[in-house]
Chains A and B, each alone.
Chain A
Amino acid sequence: MLKLSSQLIIIILIFSSSLFSYDLKEIKQKGELRHLGMPYANFVTGSGDGLSVEVMKGFAKHLNVNYKFVPSNLEKFFGDLTGQHAKNSENGLKLLDNTPIIGDVIASGLTILNWREEVVNFSKPTFPSGVWLIARAESKLNPIKPSGDIQKDIKQVKSFIKDKTVLAIEDTCLDPRLYNLKNTNAKILLQSKEIKLNELVPAIMSRKAETTLLDVPDALVALEKWPGLIKVIGPISKKQNMAVGFRKDSPELLKEFNIYLEKIKKDGTYNDLVKKYYPDIFYYYGDFFKND
């Protein structure tokens, strides 16, 4: 009986899911694609443009629907997309309160992380990334000498930060738990997710911490933005990927996006957009942008 009832619940859930899903068909019917994003590096500049903004605008056009930018933030992203907030914990994914769905995709330099994959479906990787340790220019920490092996380089960096203050943000790609920073004996200063990622570098420059974690795209922007004031010590993570997040019940939309992504990669549109917002990334992750 219990087995029957649990099966029934699953069927009902599946049924209800298909009954209330908001996928490609519904978006086309409504004629609007809602893009969830927050100002972050050159993905969403806050000035109405950015790599993610332009890609999603192109996708909306591809779908022949209107584009709508829906501001969000790291804490709200998943709730705004799925209708239920979620966070990473030491025990894994933790689902939180329900909330109205206000967006159809998250595209804002969102790094693919394991726990995130439980909440949303990711598109094919849209951007390469990694996490670097950044220090103030006058910091006594010296950048590592690359060994040619990322693992060794990470190990070397981790060896440097003992007793050093490191800014990090949980539930993001800068989550110290992802990189076992506890074991480094570094002084981790967890920042509220309400703090914008863009504020991490100013924080170390104002001596709130000696170092901070930054993903590579953001680090490249920061190096350009504050030339000579910060320095890259070395990598904290292996190569990561960023992608666009979709609701689990929007497989058709995801599928269509992947088709669109493939198309703009092939016709060069995508690389042109990347060159526009991250011209230096080709040097660091040249292979990622090669069109086979």
Chain B
Amino acid sequence: MEISLKMIKSFRIKNLYIIIGGLLIITYILLLISTTYLDQKKIEQYQSKEIQSHIKTKAVTLEYFFNSIKKDFNDISNKKEIYTYFQNKDLGMSMQYGLKASLLRIDRILKYNIDIKNINGIKSFKEINIYTKDNKVLSASNIDNLIDLKNLDLKEDAEYNEARFIIKKNENKIDVYLYKNIYFKNQSTAKIIASININTIFKKLIQLDNTLALYSMEGYLENDLSSLNKNSYFDINIKNTPFILRGINQINTNRSFFSKWFVLFLALLALPILVVLYFLILLNNKNIKLNEEKNIVKVMLQQSKMAAMGEMISNIAHQWRQPLSVISAGATGMKVNKEYGVLNDASFYETCENININAQYLSKTIDDFRNFILGDRQKTKFLLNENINNFNNLVEGVVKNHKINLILDTSSNIEIMGYPNELIQCFINIFNNSKDAFVENNIKNKFVFISTSIDNNKAIIKIKDNAGGIDDKVLPRIFEPYFTTKHQSQGTGIGLHMTYSLIVEGMKGTINTNNLSYKYKSKNQKGVEFIITLPIK
């Protein structure tokens, strides 16, 4: 009983372990998800910083570009040839005699600079024009494609000593210009203006994808991001220019190893684990129940044995009574004969032999009971008829007391691999059931038939009585535990259930029962028959 409680406790602990293990796994997954999520966040933050850094780098590149282009523009506007022209003009030279050469030289310089001024191979300027103070074209990189000054809204009085950017929206596009006044003898003499190849440069130099836009107060110069909300981009002012580089703060989750899908996958991974955990607990509970049942059976077996022991002791007493009286009578007879001097050798030896035989019988009886009570639960080969004989010896007292006719019809050579003591226990249980039924039904001529045979490579043991049979409604339930039709004081409802367990689970056999009517000694008999099949070794 104590052992069984320990085992149950052990199973409960096992269940607890599973739950703890499950919880640990779930905690681990949750931690994994949390860590992954945090990592994801960190990666996103890192990516965001990376994007910001990327945009900053691009802004620096743009700043470099704008500074560079501004410097180039200043260099062009400061070319000595331009001043030479104004000098020559100031000297009074005529176009026909020399001045035109100065002007042609400026044309060439403008064209040349259109060709050579570039950023990473991309031309910086589209056109460069020089206009007189009264807005007449003086020199142009391409006379057929002049920059229209009207669109630029230049303030005539404004002093543009330094090159400055002018951004103008023309229809659907925004153009960027660099503009500067040309001074000669401290007087604003002309104006130089260049249209910047901003779109091409931005596309090829800066915008590798569509996540960047060049923005100014006049609107988007390149890559219109006006459809985005304010939170999805950030701006970096490009120093010394009116431009803003606008970058989309777009985290590329596809690039991240710890993608949202991965987190989802981890979360989903917890689901089958929970299911497995549930089934493990279920299985363990079943095991607990099963083991509880097994233990109960064991306990019952033990109880059954203990209960049987009382009966056995009375059997032993009954069985010992006759040999003991034989031994006692023999010994007393020899003593009397000796006293009267009539003890001859033949009588002495006969009496001693008789005493010895009866003592042997007593010893065997003791061995039989001891084997049954203390028998180890070890699977062994045994002969079925020997096993039935042992059963017969054990119940001999009961048989005689209740005047039961135990009729054996056994084969001598059926060898079985199993638990012999447990099989005897099964026979006793079935026999006791019949014995009780004989009493209950007040049967006078009591018969119990035990026969063995081999069929289909299986040992068949049939046990039938003539105790009247079992109610058909009750019959299907007789192997259920704690099921009994007997009074509480008599039956425990364990015997047949234990028999079923020992046969079916213990020895991989089968046990069936049915009511039957038959004739024995020309009389109709009605009883129950138990058919046990056991696998032959």
Contacts and interface: CB of A to CB of B under 8 A. Distances in A.
Interface of A: 132, 137, 142-146, 153, 219-220, 223-224, 227-228, 231-235, 279-280, 283-284
Interface stretch (B54-62, B80-88, B343-351): B80-88
Contacts of B91: 137, 143, 231
Given A279-B104, A279-B108, A144 B97 contact: yes
A145 B88 contact: no
B310 interface: no
B125 to A, nearest CB: 21
Contacts of A280: 100-101, 104-105
Contacts of A279: 104, 108
A161 to B, nearest CB: 15
22 contacts: A132-B98, A143-B92, A143-B94, A143-B97, A143-B98, A146-B94, A146-B96, A146-B97, A223-B84, A223-B101, A223-B102, A224-B101, A227-B80, A227-B87, A228-B80, A228-B88, A231-B98, A232-B94, A232-B97, A280-B104, A283-B100, A283-B104
The 9 closest A-B pairs by CB, nearest first: A232-B98, A227-B84, A228-B87, A280-B101, A231-B91, A146-B96, A232-B97, A143-B92, A143-B93
Given A142-B92, A153-B97, 13 more contacts: A132-B97, A143-B93, A144-B97, A223-B88, A227-B80, A228-B83, A228-B88, A231-B91, A231-B93, A232-B94, A279-B108, A280-B101, A283-B104
Contacts of B102: 223, 227
Contact of B88 (A142, A219, A231): A231
The prevalent SS among residues of B at the interface is helix
Given A223-B102, A279-B108, A228 B97 contact: no
A88 B397 CA distance: 176
Nearest to A130: B97
Taking residues whose C-beta sits less than 8 angstroms from the other chain, chain B's interface range is: 20 to 34
Which of A137, A224, A228 is most buried by chain B, counting CB atoms within 10 A of its CB?
Answer: A228
Nearest to B95: A146
Nearest to B87: A228
A163 B104 CA distance: 34
A169 B468 CA distance: 165
A231 B81 contact: no
B105 to A, nearest CB: 7
B98 A228 contact: no
B87 A137 contact: yes
A179 to B, nearest CB: 16
Which of A234, A279, A280 is most buried by chain B, counting CB atoms within 10 A of its CB?
Answer: A280
A43 B95 CA distance: 24
A132 B92 CA distance: 15
Contact of B98 (A142, A145, A153, A223): A223
Contacts of B101: 220, 223-224, 280, 283-284
A235 B92 CA distance: 15
A231 B84 CA distance: 11
A234 B93 CA distance: 9
A219 B92 CA distance: 16
Contacts of B83: 227-228
A284 B84 contact: no
B505 to A, nearest CB: 112
B190 to A, nearest CB: 16
A202 to B, nearest CB: 18
Contacts of B80: 227-228
B96 to A, nearest CB: 4
Contacts of A234: 94, 97
A146 B87 CA distance: 18
Nearest to A138: B91
Given A137-B87, A228-B84, A231-B88, A284 B94 contact: no
Contacts of A284: 96, 100-101
Contacts of A228: 80, 83-84, 87-88
A127 to B, nearest CB: 16
B102 to A, nearest CB: 7
A166 to B, nearest CB: 16
Contacts of B104: 279-280, 283
Contacts of B105: 224, 280
Interface in B129-156: none
Which of B95, B97, B99 is most buried by chain A, counting CB atoms within 10 A of its CB?
Answer: B97
Contacts of B98: 132, 143, 219-220, 223, 231-232
Nearest to B96: A146
Contacts of A145: 94
Contacts of A283: 100-101, 104
Which of B80, B81, B91, B105 is most buried by chain A, counting CB atoms within 10 A of its CB?
Answer: B91
Nearest to A146: B96
A156 to B, nearest CB: 11
Contacts of A137: 87, 91
A255 to B, nearest CB: 35
A233 B93 CA distance: 7
Contacts of B100: 280, 283-284
A143 B97 CA distance: 8
A235 B93 CA distance: 12
Which of A143, A145, A153, A279 is most buried by chain B, counting CB atoms within 10 A of its CB?
Answer: A143
Contacts of A132: 97-98
A227 B83 CA distance: 9
Contacts of A143: 91-94, 97-98
Contact of A231 (B92, B95, B96): B92
A232 B84 contact: no
Nearest to A136: B91
A144 B97 CA distance: 9
A205 to B, nearest CB: 14
A143 B99 CA distance: 10
Given A224-B101, A227-B87, A144 B81 contact: no
A280 B83 CA distance: 18
A219 B100 CA distance: 13
Interface in B456-510: none
A233 B108 CA distance: 24
B75 to A, nearest CB: 17
Which of B81, B94, B102 is most buried by chain A, counting CB atoms within 10 A of its CB?
Answer: B94
Interface string B66-91: 00000000000000110110011001
B392 to A, nearest CB: 136
Nearest to A282: B104
A137 B81 CA distance: 15
Contacts of A224: 101, 105
B107 to A, nearest CB: 9
Interface string B98-119: 1111101100100000000000
Contacts of B99: 232
A223 B105 CA distance: 10
Nearest to B86: A228
